[in-house]
Chains A and B, each alone.
Chain A
Amino acid sequence: MSKFNQFTVSAAKRMPVIILADISGSMSVDGKIETINRAIAEMIACFAEEVDVRADIHVSVITFGKGGAKIHIPLQEAAKIQWIDMEAAGSTPMDKALELVAEIVEDKNQIASRDYHPNIILVSDGQPTDEKGHPTEKWKPALEELLNSPRASKTLRLAMGIGADADHEVLNEFVQHQQQNVPVFRADETNQIRLFFRWLTMSVTNRSRSANPGNISTIDFSNAFGNVDDIMF
């Protein structure tokens, strides 16, 4: 046994992946919520099967819809997650989800300073609203607080807008002020939702296997999706 055993932590560093999923009523149309459920479940299953990783991948899913923002899956090791499908209903209280994710990221008990930076992925098909479904600007101070907080500002933020009604102003703001330019991914068809999550799965697993899991290569969805298509066929 190592002489240093008694002075060191026994857990590997973690790579957190936090999904902010819009589950408002509009997500029930055109099979969107079903596709997202399937895509996230596949992603978690892929993470769980990864053995040659140098960082343990931990996943959390925060939903925002009927009843506000909720922790659908608490942050935990992918292999331990029992996926439960999300159901779409209600309005789009995105501000509550932004507040909730800021709380989680700032909590050093949930994500330690020794862990790799969290990946936060915002997925939405519409405009932020209040609980009654009225358009609101409440997301602005919530996002500002997230971007200005000491730790959340150091995360990698990605966004996917689903369909023509997605509010790209909000999503673009969400991915601003990062080390590199990160485009918002537009999913006009449900198949593209699946492709986005496959790209995300590959991106996270490739980093978790790499010599420097904290390093982010250039994010270029067009190239990434080319690779995904190759795998699919």
Chain B
Amino acid sequence: MIKQVQNQVQWFGASVKRPLHQREKRLNEDAWQGISGSFGTAIVVSDGMGSKPNAHLGANMACQAVKEALRHWVKAEGASPVILLRLIHVLWSLKVIPATEEDSAATCLFAVVIPSGELLVAKLGDGVAAIRESGGVVTVLGEERAGFCNQTTALGIAKSTQEWSLITRPCFTPGSAVFLATDGIADDLIVNKVGDLIKSLVEEFAPIPAKKRWRMLCQELRNWPTPKHLDDKTLAVLWHQKENLDGA
């Protein structure tokens, strides 16, 4: 039964550079990964802080750190999510060396369905992490930003795991989905449309073959409709496939 759940948990995502980075041939300072392994199935997105010299590295290492932390954490039965978060901080700090943590600061958002079927979604810094249940109920993690755009906490800035937002669910029911996105997307979303966006992503994009879907998503992100949009844009979706849907 547990193996069956894991087989039905699918993911996809895409990331594009901001228009200026394309012209200036700069690196994408966002990163994302979809990963499956003994720890379950997970998605991670990260936004390297634009003013920092190692933003690209910081974001990529955030994805790597989550992946490694999950491997260790799942093996320790009963370990609390806080230990997972602490592990992510430590691993990320090691991975950005010889750069300083401050120069590599990056947000970190991830969602994982572990082998027991439990869902864990966590978020540090700007961006959006939201769960859409099969019945349409939407839960957005964390409180609304207290300040203004580009003023965020992140790996390399946060001093405590209390700066994370975290949600766990005992199971990830068929038809449910988690959506993660960096602030290049999150800042321009209409708050009460997040659920509709998740529904659209799962219903319209999930059934498309992976390569074609990735190209289509990148195209949509490059043609982002909000005027004067600036940031790199990254999204990832994790969903529990209903039985009548074809494979991803």
B212 to chain A, nearest CB (A): 14
Given A9-B226, A214-B150, 12 further pairs, Cβ under 8 A: A2-B225, A9-B188, A9-B189, A11-B227, A13-B187, A56-B228, A150-B146, A151-B147, A154-B146, A154-B147, A211-B24, A213-B150
Which B residues are in CB contact (< 8 Å) with A218? none
Cβ-defined contact, B204 with A3, below 8 A: yes
In the complex, A111→B51 CA distance in Å? 23
Cβ-defined contact, A116 with B228, below 8 A: no
Question: Of all chain A residues, which has the CB nearest B222?
Answer: A2
Which residue from A3, A7, A113 sits with its C-beta under 8 Å from B147? A113
Which residue from B146, B225, B230 sits with its C-beta under 8 Å from A4? B225
Cβ-defined contact, B193 with A113, below 8 A: no
In the complex, A9→B196 CA distance in Å? 14
Let me know if B97 is at the binding interface, CB within 8 A. no
What are the interface flags for B121-155 relative to A under an 8 Å C-beta threshold, 1 for contact and 0 otherwise? 00000000000000000000000111111110000
Which A residues are in CB contact (< 8 Å) with B118? none
In the complex, A213→B189 CA distance in Å? 20
Known: A7-B189, A7-B190, A113-B144. A211 touches B226 (CB 8 A): no
Which B residues are in CB contact (< 8 Å) with A2? 220, 223-225
Which A residues are in CB contact (< 8 Å) with B224? 2, 4, 8
Which B residues are in CB contact (< 8 Å) with A227? none
Which A residues are in CB contact (< 8 Å) with B20? 211
Let me know if A178 is at the binding interface, CB within 8 A. no
Ordered by A's residue number, 15 sampled pairs between the chains whose C-beta atoms are within 8 Å are A7-B196, A7-B200, A8-B189, A8-B226, A9-B188, A9-B189, A9-B190, A10-B226, A56-B228, A115-B148, A117-B148, A212-B50, A213-B230, A214-B148, A214-B150
Chain A interface (Cβ < 8 Å from any Cβ of B): 1-13, 53-56, 111, 113-118, 150-151, 154, 211-215
Which residue from B18, B50, B148, B229 sits with its C-beta under 8 Å from A113? B148
Which B residues are in CB contact (< 8 Å) with A13? 149, 187, 228, 230
In the complex, A10→B228 CA distance in Å? 10
Which A residues are in CB contact (< 8 Å) with B149? 13, 113-116, 214
Which B residues are in CB contact (< 8 Å) with A111? 148
B81 to chain A, nearest CB (A): 27
Let me know if B197 is at the binding interface, CB within 8 A. yes
Which 6 pairs show the lowest CB-CB distances between chains A and B? A214-B150, A12-B228, A154-B147, A114-B187, A7-B197, A117-B148
Which B residues are in CB contact (< 8 Å) with A150? 146-147
Question: Of all chain B residues, which has the CB nearest A56?
Answer: B228
B182 to chain A, nearest CB (A): 13
In the complex, A118→B151 CA distance in Å? 12
In the complex, A6→B220 CA distance in Å? 13
Which B residues are in CB contact (< 8 Å) with A6? 193, 196
- Residue among B188, B193, B204, B223 with the most chain A CB within 10 A? B188
Which residue from A7, A53, A212 sits with its C-beta under 8 Å from B150? A212
Interface members, chain B 1-59 (any A CB < 8 Å): 18, 20-21, 24, 50-51
Which residue from B21, B188, B204 sits with its C-beta under 8 Å from A114? B188
Cβ-defined contact, A215 with B197, below 8 A: no
Question: Of all chain A residues, which has the CB nearest B183?
Answer: A114
Question: Of all chain A residues, which has the CB nearest B229?
Answer: A12
In the complex, A114→B21 CA distance in Å? 21
Cβ-defined contact, B225 with A8, below 8 A: yes
Which A residues are in CB contact (< 8 Å) with B151? 117, 154, 214
